[in-house]
Amino acid sequence: MNQEKIGKFIASCRKEQGFTQTVLAEKLGITDRAVSKWETGRNLPDAAIMPELCGLLNIQLSELFRGERMTTEAHQKAFDALLLEMKQQEEAANRRILQLEKVLVCMTIAVSLTMILGGCYLAKDHLALGIALLTFGAAVVFAVCFVGVKIEHDTGYYECPECGERYIPTMKAVVMALHRGTARKMTCPFCGKCAYHQKVLAR
Ligand SMILES: [Zn+2]
């Protein structure tokens, strides 16, 4: 942020509104020395006071930060850039969750399969213990698959190839659906067509 530019901008907006430094200071409940410090670029207004200051100067917060008026087009551009950044952050976060999910599911299934095999082997000599181990292993596989599907459901969206809409399906739809990689065969709530809907990480 260019403090000096912001200071000059505050001074020019204040004059446009016909306020002296003292009048602006009184309206904000601060000293005129504080206003003078902003305008000479020695200080920035407190974040807490900024919304009220912008209101009095009839400017947007984004204009105060840039130290200049922005056209509607420039505002729209800044807003679009912010939206894009948020979308990219959401995608990155969702990608990390899904990667972690895959690793955990694979690891747990490997451990559980070992338990199941161990259970089968043990069952020859120690039937009760073998069956217990086998049952426990199977229960863990089942639980982990369910948690995996739940994480997949909760992360990101599914995209309909027919109408291009992105949506969050019900948990039931995801569990019941046939899947091919990260695509699931579901009925689109928008166009009603049944197709393989691809997992996407952001709307
Ligand atoms: Zn559709």
- What is the SS3 string spanning 100-128? HHHHHHHHHHHHHHHHHHHHHHHHCCCHH
At 99-124, the pLDDT tens digits run: 988 898 899 889 888 888 888 888 88
Instruction: Compute the distance from residue 200 Cα to the ligand 1 centre, in Å.
Output: 14
Q: Is 25 a domain residue? A: yes
Measured CA to CA in angstroms, residue 12 lies from 19, 39, 58, 133, 173 at distances of: 10, 9, 12, 78, 59
Please name the amino acid found at residue 47.
A
Alpha-carbon distance 123 to 134, whole Å? 9
Instruction: Give the residue numbers spanning the domain of 55.
Output: 3-70
| Class of residue 178 by CB neighbours under 10 A (exposed 0-12, middle 13-18, buried 19+) | exposed
Reduced to 3 states (helix: H, G, I; strand: E, B; else coil), residue 43 is coil
Which residue among 19, 48, 70 closes a domain? 70
| Residues lying with their CB under 5 A of ligand 1, a single-atom ion | 160, 162-163, 188, 190-191
Place of tokens 């073998």: 130
* 2, HSE (Cβ side, Cα atoms, 13 Å): 10
* 167 Cα–ligand 1 center, Å: 10
Residue 97 lies in a domain: no
**What's the chain's average pLDDT?**
91
157 Cα: distance to centroid of ligand 1 (angstroms): 13
pLDDT value of residue 136: 87
The answer to whether residue 1 scores a pLDDT higher than 80 is: no
**CA 174 to centroid of ligand 1, rounded, Å:** 16
Find the 158 Cα to ligand 1 centroid distance in Å: 10
Examine residue 79 and state whether it is found in any structural domain, yes or no: no
The answer to whether residue 12 sits within a structural domain is yes
How deeply is 158 buried, as exposed, middle or buried, from its count of CB atoms within 10 A (0-12, 13-18, 19+)?
buried
Assess if residue 126 is contained within a domain.
Answer: no
Q: What's the average model confidence in pLDDT over 154-170?
A: 93
| End-of-domain residue from the set 70, 99, 119 | 70
Residue 32 scores a pLDDT above 90: yes
State the DSSP code for 139.
H
Q: Where are the beta strands (DSSP E) in the chain?
A: 157-159, 166-167, 179-180, 183-187, 194-200
Cα 161 to ligand 1 centroid, rounded to whole Å: 7
More confident: 174 or 1: 174
Separation CA 112–CA 140 (nearest Å): 6
Q: What is the pLDDT of residue 185?
A: 94
So what's the pLDDT on residue 203? 83
Residue that is last in its domain, among 11, 39, 70: 70
Domain count, the chain: 2
